[in-house]
Amino acid sequence: METSSFIHPAIGFLALAAVLPFLRGKWWNWLLPAPAVLAVFAVFTMTPGDHLTLNWLGQTLLLGRVDKLSLVFAQVFAVMSVAGMLYAMHVKDRGQHIAAALYVSGGFGCVFAGDYLTLFVFWELMSIGSTFLVLLNRTRESVLAGFRYFLYHTAGGLLLLAGLLIRYKALGTWEFTPMAPGSAHLYEWLILAGFCVNAAVVPLHAWLPDAYPRGTVTGSVFMCAYTTKTAVYVLARGFAGWEILAAAGTVMAVYGVLYACIENNARRILSYHIVSQVGYMVAGIGVGTAMTLNGAVAHAYAHILYKGLLFMGTGCLLYAAGTAKLDKLGGLAARLPWVMVLYMVAALSISGMPVFNGFISKTMTITGAAEAHRTLVALGLEIAAVGTFISVGIKLPYFAFWGGKPTDNDRVLAPIPWNMYAGMSVLAVLCILQGVAPSILYAYLPFEVEHPYVPWSVWHVLQSLLLLGFSGLAFYLLRKVITPHEGLNLDVDIAYRAVGTGALRFVCRPLAFLDDRWTEAYRTGGLRGLMGIALGSVWFDRRAIDGVVDGSARTVRGIGGLGARTQNGSLQDYLGLAAFFALCVFGLVWYLG
């Protein structure tokens, strides 16, 4: 039913992006949280229904589809925007804030889009905003990573656009509705491929660990929350129950933690864990039961909170110490105690420790997969949970805060602004609050289940503690193997590099060879011929054209000079000259007659 109780949360962020370039003074940064606070108010006061219907070029666009699924994602997006804008208030670069505002507005636009045209516009707005969050780090590595990131998402956007156009041609509608897996058409596979690029589904994920570690300190905080989770939302909306997603999500969950365990850069470790944790969500969507779908949504909600907090913690390390590489960190627990404490809240959350929100979301997906008799999926997700605690819960904080050399105590650290602590504290409180009182989150889950999930049972608590204990033992046994060291671990991007090298060898170099030969031939033959033609043209211009023109000019000048000499102003001379010419004419006529 159409109602008027709807304020689109994207409006405030678009307005912020529009006015930031024109603000003056030194207090403009206090305006940054304003659209985020407005977004929280808008989400918690809007009512379900269809809002903001727009007729454009004969098409009906729906900008405000509000239901349980869109509300739960919009809610966590709004909360994250408050914490993110608080965390970024100290940044003086307005370009970063403009890019972040456009990026967040794109996320809200996608969540409330009721048709594919609206979705595509905001989808591309997210791509543009996030690209600048990488480029504006202004290093050579970030510029190259931003360029690769934009190419990747352009390709994903083109896949999505091709699917939308073919679908419109076949069905005559842009409506964003669920797609049945049993009778999939080409356009549905193209749309799915476009969504999977943003979801970082293996092997389409290389852009994420490439770009996120090279983004700005505050930009990566926003990026870890919106791109992949928007993709999870559209997959849950349109592709629930697609079997291929269950398999893809399980592979993502295991693959991400394996790479995270061998990484050295803290932000790259967290980037691989985005791949892994989104794998839980994608797998839950693929299984397609009410339990696993709720698990995917709950885990997306929890993941945004603790992953944002993790990136904030490692961002503080980068801000204070100037590096996020574990082999160059260590001994910071006593010097950055609050960063360590807040980081550990997020680390225990992502690991599924009881009392934290990861415990109430991750176990739901695994339990739902087991109840649906998807044993391999449940087993794969359990294995991924072990790797998560090893890499993020133990390895990263151990080498960043406790490991290291005695000389690390002499490191000069930049003071961390108060607002960075404020943003981290908001997310830390929510991570604990949801873990202690899961109904705060469960009340918003969109799918009705026959038997409500109860996380705080003896079995679930015991299972989580046993799993975490086994993970700690595994870290102790493998501590020398997974010690961080300098170097870049190539992922599937090694295939892209091979394609680029092959293109350089078999396409670019032969073309360069032909171009060199042509240049030489032109220089020895063609250039001399052209020089000869040019010399002939010069001769013709000087001898023929200039001769005629200059000769005519000299003749006219001579006649003019003679006329000037004869015109001396004497009347008697003029009469005599006239009589002379008359006698000459008379004599000529008499002679001829």
Mean pLDDT by 10 residues, the chain (593 residues): 73 95 87 94 92 84 92 96 95 94 96 94 95 94 92 93 93 88 88 94 91 94 94 94 93 91 89 93 93 94 95 94 87 90 93 90 89 91 87 87 67 91 96 93 88 84 84 78 73 74 75 74 66 72 64 64 59 66 73 68
Instruction: Name the DSSP letter for residue 491.
Output: -
Task: Return d(Cα 64, Cα 155) in angstroms, integer.
Answer: 27
| pLDDT at residue number 572 | 64
Task: Return d(Cα 275, Cα 73) in angstroms, integer.
Answer: 19
| pLDDT at residue number 3 | 46
Q: Which residues pair with 495 in a beta bridge?
A: none
Task: Return d(Cα 558, Cα 299) in angstroms, integer.
Answer: 101
| pLDDT at residue number 403 | 74
Could you count the other beta carbons within 10 Å of the beta carbon of residue 161? 17
| pLDDT at residue number 348 | 92
- Count Cα atoms within 13 angstroms, Cβ side, for 552: 5
Query: Strand, helix or coil at 304?
Result: helix
Alpha helices in 263-374 (DSSP H): 266-287, 290-321, 337-351, 357-371
Torsion (CA) 355, 356, 359, 361 in degrees, nearest 10: 130
The torsion angles phi and psi of 311, rounded to 5 degrees, stand at: -70, -30
| pLDDT at residue number 484 | 72
| pLDDT at residue number 476 | 78
| pLDDT at residue number 69 | 95
The tokens of 131 are what? 């690209």
The torsion angles phi and psi of 84, rounded to 5 degrees, stand at: -65, -40
Q: Contact, 577 vs 566, CB < 8 A?
A: yes
The torsion angles phi and psi of 51, rounded to 5 degrees, stand at: -130, 160
Exposed e or buried b per residue across 170-199, where buried means at least 16 C-beta atoms within 10 angstroms of its C-beta: eeeebebeebebeeeeebbebbbbbbbbbb
The tokens of 377 are what? 């999926």
Task: Return d(Cα 106, Cα 132) in angstroms, integer.
Answer: 14
Q: Contact, 449 vs 98, CB < 8 A?
A: no
Task: Return d(Cα 343, Cα 351) in angstroms, integer.
Answer: 12
Task: Return d(Cα 317, Cα 523) in angstroms, integer.
Answer: 58
Rg of the chain in Å (alpha carbons): 36
Q: What is the pTM of this model?
A: 0.83
Task: Return d(Cα 5, Cα 46) in angstroms, integer.
Answer: 5
Burial classification of residue 37, based on how many CB atoms lie within 10 Å of its CB (0-12 exposed, 13-18 middle, 19 or more buried): middle
The torsion angles phi and psi of 57, rounded to 5 degrees, stand at: 50, 40
The tokens of 351 are what? 């690991």
Instruction: Name the DSSP letter for residue 356.
Output: S
Sequence letter at residue 128: I
